[in-house]
Structure 1
Amino acid sequence: MEGLSSKGVLSHLSVLAVQTKSRRNPPQQSTRVKELKAEAEALMMRREQLKAEIQTHKSLQRMRLSMDKGEEEMDEDSENSQLLQLMAKHSQLKDLLYAHHLIGGYDIIKTSLGKGVCVSVTTAYEGVYLDTYNLEIDLKPVLRITRHNVPPFIPLNELAEQNNIQTNIKAFLDVLSQHLNAHAGRKQQLKLVKERFPSVDVMESNVLCSILVLMFTVPRQKTAVLCTLNYSDHTRCLPTTVHIQCEGRTVSTDNQGPPSTVYNPRLCVMSMLSIRTLKHNKFKCPSFIY
């Protein structure tokens, strides 16, 4: 009995000890639970933060990809645009070259109003550029010269009609260039005579420089000679007829055949050399700003 009672007491004591221990543990367990909950909440917040960062990184990556793709497209568009510009410029240059060939190499530009063109004709003599003449030509409804600075003694309208400017503007410009260059050459010859030969007196000349009358003295003989140069062909700078008078005797010659009367050929040669008449070559126009 004593043994049973002692076992009962011990078991009862153990139960009491367990109960006592269980009564002491709840505060510790509740604290641990709170800590775990707080840690779980922190982890959840960290998870949400990481999700937000991942989403941000994805958005940035998508933006970079779209920007890179846009730049590539822009580069392609830029290259295509440059290629198109080069093709357009090449086509424009071909058109200008063709137009330049059609008008015989004369400089031509559009007028400010865009309704016509301006053509320049440059004159030269013995490799020296002289005067430049400009013509403003309306293209529609018909070709018509509206303004120009061609000298009035050049028959501009007559040349336009004779060479049919409506159908062959190149022929008209060629003939006009011949007239202008021939006049410039004759005028330059007269200038050279005055500058290089002070002993030669210019007795007579006209605006067109188609007639020159010179007075000079034959070296050593002290003989006065009157030389008349006649330029009947206004498209040339060489005289067509040379008429020399000396002490009542006359020699006439032209540049297409022998003299009609041979008196003193040396005088004819001297008269020709005195004005340094060299064959004049046609020059193309330089760049022109109207």
Structure 2
Amino acid sequence: MEKVTATGVLNHLSLMEAQTRSSKDHRQQQQQSRVEELKAKVEELKRHRDQLKKEVEVYESVRTLRASMDSKSVHEEDERMDGDSENAEILWLMAKHCQVTDLLHAHRLIGGFEIIQTKQGKGLCVSVATSYEGVYLDRYSLEFDTKPTFRITRHNIPPFIPLNKLTEQSNMTETELKAFLHILSQHLNAYAGRKQQLQLVKEHHQSVEVMESNALCSLLVLLFTVPKKRTPVLCTMEYLDHIRCLPTRVYCQSEDTELPECPQWKSNCLLLMENPVHKALSTMKTMGHIV
């Protein structure tokens, strides 16, 4: 009986030793696999680092070359190109592309129009860009037939922009197209500005609740909360001049009927009329007038 027991114990110990050895080998394999995986990751990161270094070098070279282009004449640039290597020529082309892109962007920001002839001279395609505070926003397009009569055939102007009324007011013809595009651009940029202000209010002033707004962004109703007493104030902003980004009328309502008539809130209404709404709200928060 003792022999059987001893044999059983030895077998059990042998089994445990084998399991331990197997587990150790498995851990070693896992560690080795992990080491190889980490080495591969390190090599990948090194390659990525080297690639980023090259991209930074190219960017710095293009930026330096781009800055020097404004102070050099075309003749000087041509002379410089004659003696440069192929890589330098590629950098010069990249810098030139950046320069043209910057000029095109500036052209759009100051209200420039892109006009392309279509239908073998019988049509025009016009692109009107919008921007607000230096940020390039949406672009709208119109297609015109020039023959037999000058008319708009297709466009993606929002339906609440009075396009037909504007064409009548500007007496739109091919020779007077610029005047029509100018007034249309005023309407589109004002709308884009009001829309962008509303978006900025939602992003940066979450304590201010937008109760109502319309598609043209010509009506905006905001709910403020006055600190301490937590008094709610309903502020209505009307934009009756559709070629401006600022409201033409601002008035406030509250359960505390004396509050809208106090000098502080009259000053707030004036602030909202004279400044973009998101900036006015920042000032009101800084002054402690709203939460």
What is the TM-score when the length of structure 2 is the normalising length?
A: 0.53
SS of equivalent residue, structure 1 residue 232: coil
Query: CA offset at residue 244 of structure 1?
Result: 1.0
Aligned to 1:194: 202
Aligned to 1:60: none
Task: Check the 8 A contact 1:110/1:117 in 2, yes or no.
Answer: yes
**Unpaired segments ≥5 residues, structure 1:** 1-99, 253-260, 279-290
Aligned to 2:215: 207
Aligned partner letter, 2:113 = Y
Q: Does 1:109 align with 2:116?
A: yes
SS of equivalent residue, structure 2 residue 210: strand
Q: 1:153 to 1:277 in 2, by over 3 A?
A: farther
Kindly report which structure 2 residues correspond to 1:1-290, keeping only aligned pairs within 5 A, or say none: 105-166=112-173, 167-246=175-254, 247-249=256-258, 251=260, 264-268=265-269, 271=272, 275-276=277-278
**Unpaired segments ≥5 residues, structure 2:** 1-106, 281-291
Q: 1:262 to 1:141 in 2, by over 3 A?
A: farther
Task: Check the 8 A contact 1:229/1:239 in 2, yes or no.
Answer: yes
Which protein has the larger Cα radius of gyration, Structure 1 or Structure 2? 1
Cα deviation 1:201-250 (Å, max 9, x = unaligned): 11111111100000011234422111100000111110010111132247
Query: CA offset at residue 107 of structure 1?
Result: 0.9
Aligned residue pair count: 168
Return 106-115 or 143-152, whichever deviates more.
Answer: 106-115
Equivalent-residue separation in structure 1 for 2:241 and 2:270 (angstroms): 20
Q: Which has the higher contact order (CA 8 A, sep 6+)?
A: 1
Equivalent-residue separation in structure 2 for 1:270 and 1:224 (angstroms): 19
Q: 1:251 to 1:168 in 2, by over 3 A?
A: farther
Equivalent-residue separation in structure 2 for 1:187 and 1:179 (angstroms): 12
Query: CA offset at residue 112 of structure 1?
Result: 4.8
Identity of aligned residues (%): 60
Return 263-272 or 212-221, whichever deviates more.
Answer: 263-272
What is the TM-score when the length of structure 1 is the normalising length?
A: 0.53
SS of equivalent residue, structure 2 residue 234: strand
User: CA RMSD of the aligned region, Å?
Assistant: 2.6
Equivalent-residue separation in structure 2 for 1:128 and 1:271 (angstroms): 22
Aligned partner letter, 2:244 = R
Aligned partner letter, 2:224 = F
Equivalent-residue separation in structure 2 for 1:274 and 1:177 (angstroms): 20
Aligned partner letter, 2:124 = V
Equivalent-residue separation in structure 1 for 2:121 and 2:259 (angstroms): 59
Q: 1:265 to 1:136 in 2, by over 3 A?
A: same
SS of equivalent residue, structure 1 residue 110: strand
Task: Check the 8 A contact 1:238/1:277 in 2, yes or no.
Answer: no
Higher helix share: 2
Equivalent-residue separation in structure 2 for 1:130 and 1:277 (angstroms): 19
